Amino acid sequence: MHSKLTKKDILRILNAADSEIIDYMSQTSKYRENNLITYSKNVFIPLTEICRNDCGYCNFKKNPDDPEAIILKTKEEVLESLKEAEQYGCKEALFTFGENADEEEVVQHKLAEYGYEEMIDYITDICQMTLNETSLLPHTNGGNFTFDELTKLKEVNASLGLMLENSSDRLMKLPAHNKSPGKDPKLRLETIANAGKLKIPYTTGILIGIGETKEEIAESLIAIKELYEEYEHIQEVIIQNFTPIPGIEMENWAEPTFLDMVRTVIAATLLFADTDVSIQVPPNLNNETAQIFLLCGADDWGGVSPVSPDYVNITSPWPGIDELKRLTQDAGFELKERLCIYEKYINTEWLNGNLLEKVSNLSPHQ
């Protein structure tokens, strides 16, 4: 197996069975440059739980009339969470929230109450406050943004993220995405490409088990690789598994099998083997099995928070950092903290002077 995989090669991996799977798994180790497995110590702050989409697997979005819903956090609330996170040594402020929440009147009213006309100005101010008043680095993941919005976000974020989920239009007809205009793959690929044009270090990935075919998984990974080849801004690719949770529309859908995850992580690893893009598997969605993915080439656990839950997967608590270290070492690797921006992007080509200084002052340690 050479590192420049074709779609046919990827499909062969995704359809592998029996000892073939073990053979592919062992090939991934050839491409490891070191024995480090990274993670970012973060705080997850959901700025709003309102979202214009309605994904069949969503466990995050709340209705605007739900009295429990976060409509829009105040700056004070955000700052309080950030200060607490600082005490725990967190270095990434992960702002994840629903897409185009300001399509809802309740959110518009809150924005006006806080003195904003546009959602993007509120988000940008929150990120700027994070930079001014804390040592944390903002990483925003709030759905699609226009080129102009990304231009604003770039100035106040160390990196940004958006899951591609899948590149197939067909999923727009399935429960996963049939009520989610923001999950249109054309739109998402455009957002990721615009981030590349703007030289924004970027995180993306795919969600498996939402009704896609193996062919569509292969095409999605190739689409991400092509974006990387054009702009070199993709620092990591997340391979996330759908997890059915009671109460969601897709609660009765089957989870992807463990081997589906294994095959997909191997395929992603071998596809990106000729790059320095990391392959990430969230440890909290794979409690019992996370270690195996390290043997399939995954080299990053993603954001792990000692202080906040994973609001997007609220029933799946993150392991503690000590537990993560134990799991990593037990598999033969070493756990290493990283920033939300990977080292190769820490320079003037990718960051403005203010961000560069801020990032350079943070040194993650084990």
Q: Catalog residues that contact ligand SF4 under the rule CB under 6 A.
A: 51, 53-55, 58, 60-61, 98-99, 143, 180, 182
Is the CB of 210 or the CB of 304 nearer to ligand SF4?
A: 210
- The span from the CA of 33 to the CA of 3, in Å, is 14
How near is the Cβ of 329 to ligand SF4 at its closest, in Å?
Answer: 34
How near is the Cβ of 321 to ligand SF4 at its closest, in Å?
Answer: 27
How near is the Cβ of 153 to ligand SF4 at its closest, in Å?
Answer: 17
Tokens of 252: 């009765």
How near is the Cβ of 166 to ligand SF4 at its closest, in Å?
Answer: 13
Is the CB of 54 or the CB of 337 nearer to ligand SF4?
A: 54
78: Cβ contacts below 8 Å, ≥ 6 apart: 45, 47, 126, 129, 130
- The span from the CA of 88 to the CA of 77, in Å, is 17
Tokens of 302: 């993603």
How near is the Cβ of 143 to ligand SF4 at its closest, in Å?
Answer: 6
Is the CB of 63 or the CB of 74 nearer to ligand SF4?
A: 63
Is the CB of 66 or the CB of 343 nearer to ligand SF4?
A: 66
How near is the Cβ of 159 to ligand SF4 at its closest, in Å?
Answer: 19
Is the CB of 31 or the CB of 311 nearer to ligand SF4?
A: 311
Is the CB of 86 or the CB of 249 nearer to ligand SF4?
A: 249
User: If we measure between CA atoms, which residue out of 350, 94, 339, 357 comes closest to residue 197?
Assistant: 350
Is the CB of 86 or the CB of 190 nearer to ligand SF4?
A: 190
Is the CB of 137 or the CB of 163 nearer to ligand SF4?
A: 163
Tokens of 192: 């990721």
How near is the Cβ of 177 to ligand SF4 at its closest, in Å?
Answer: 8
How near is the Cβ of 220 to ligand SF4 at its closest, in Å?
Answer: 17
Is the CB of 24 or the CB of 253 nearer to ligand SF4?
A: 253
How near is the Cβ of 98 to ligand SF4 at its closest, in Å?
Answer: 5
195: Cβ contacts below 8 Å, ≥ 6 apart: 150, 160, 162, 202, 231, 233
